[in-house]
């Protein structure tokens, strides 16, 4: 489905990002696999995937909270890469806290990673995509950005901002042949849920018609659809992958 395309994926070392990398590899994309920290395990896993599917995977390292380092790494990448067809803005952080107990500085930190860093990367990459008059950007938002929950202000509003940017960028970049869409996962089984209490988990499950937690692969399948030419007439949309949560 992605043969001949090059995809850049952030947060590709675990969770949803790793599932996206694996599914893209299976669909024969070449991949720029971005992670925060270089580890021998990650490098080995990427090399094994590349060998298995006969593709190229280049691990790239930067921390989204360090804007200068992140933009410099992405600029370098753009210089050294012939083309980038797909950008998956997946890396993100979550936080929970009542507004009255959350310093605004903390909210800014969440926005720096979940919103501003995504914009910086998107600005650089879509400039390159524009030269080929083609590209697909997929922003991983969240159902938290579409609803309102106690304690969800920092995370939810950062994802709501990213969902808004998705729609606006779709309008601005459509004429350049670039599609911009979002995927909003619900309750997905990744490390993000490791430290949440059981009551919250059971309450979420009771509101999920499909009666199970989603897997990273469930999300990756929606991302693959938006990355591929199968979604060639879809832009500015947000696919919700949440088991039909009510």
Binding region for ligand NAP (CB under 6 A) = 11, 13-17, 36-37, 63-65, 90-94, 113, 140, 142, 185, 187-188, 190-193
- The nearer residue to ligand NAP, 1 or 113, going by C-beta atoms, is 113
Q: Which residue is nearest to ligand NAP (CB)?
A: 15
HEC per residue, the chain: CCCCCEEEECCCCCHHHHHHHHHHHHCCCEEEEEECCCCHHHHHHHHHHHHHHCCCEEEEECCCCCHHHHHHHHHHHHHHCCCCCEEEECCCCCCCCCHHHCCHHHHHHHHHHHHHHHHHHHHHHHHHHHHHCCEEEEEECCHHHCCCCCCCHHHHHHHHHHHHHHHHHHHHHHHHCEEEEEEEECCECCHHHCCCCHHHHHHHHHCCCCCCCECHHHHHHHHHHHHCHHHCCCCCCEEEECCCCC
Q: How far is the CB of 144 from ligand NAP (least distance, A)?
A: 6
Q: How far is the CB of 176 from ligand NAP (least distance, A)?
A: 25
Annotation says 61 is catalytic: no
Q: How far is the CB of 3 from ligand NAP (least distance, A)?
A: 26
- The nearer residue to ligand NAP, 149 or 229, going by C-beta atoms, is 149
- The nearer residue to ligand NAP, 111 or 134, going by C-beta atoms, is 111
- The nearer residue to ligand NAP, 43 or 63, going by C-beta atoms, is 63
Catalytic positions are 155
């Amino acid at each position: 489905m992605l043969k001949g395309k090059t995809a850049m994926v952030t947060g590709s070392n675990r969770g949803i990002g790793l599932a996206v990398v694996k599914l893209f590899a299976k669909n024969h994309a070449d991949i720029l696999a971005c992670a925060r920290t270089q580890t021998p395990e990650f490098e080995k896993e990427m090399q094994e995937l590349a060998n298995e599917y006969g593709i190229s995977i280049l691990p790239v390292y930067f921390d989204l909270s360090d804007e200068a380092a992140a933009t410099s790494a992405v600029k370098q990448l753009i210089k050294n890469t012939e083309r980038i067809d797909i950008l998956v803005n997946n890396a993100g952080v979550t936080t929970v806290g009542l507004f009255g107990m959350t310093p605004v500085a903390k909210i800014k930190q969440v926005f720096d990673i979940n919103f501003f860093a995504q914009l910086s990367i998107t600005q650089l990459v879509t400039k390159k995509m524009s030269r080929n008059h083609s590209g697909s950007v997929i922003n991983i938002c969240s159902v938290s950005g579409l609803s309102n929950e106690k304690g969800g202000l920092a995370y939810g509003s950062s994802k709501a901002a990213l969902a808004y940017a998705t729609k606006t960028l779709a309008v601005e970049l459509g004429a350049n042949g670039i599609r911009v869409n979002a995927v909003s996962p619900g309750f997905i089984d990744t490390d993000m849920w490791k430290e949440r209490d059981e009551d919250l988990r059971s309450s979420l499950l009771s509101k999920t018609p499909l009666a199970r937690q989603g897997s990273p692969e469930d999300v990756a399948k929606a991302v693959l659809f938006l990355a591929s030419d199968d979604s060639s007439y879809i832009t500015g949309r947000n696919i919700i992958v949440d088991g039909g949560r009510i």
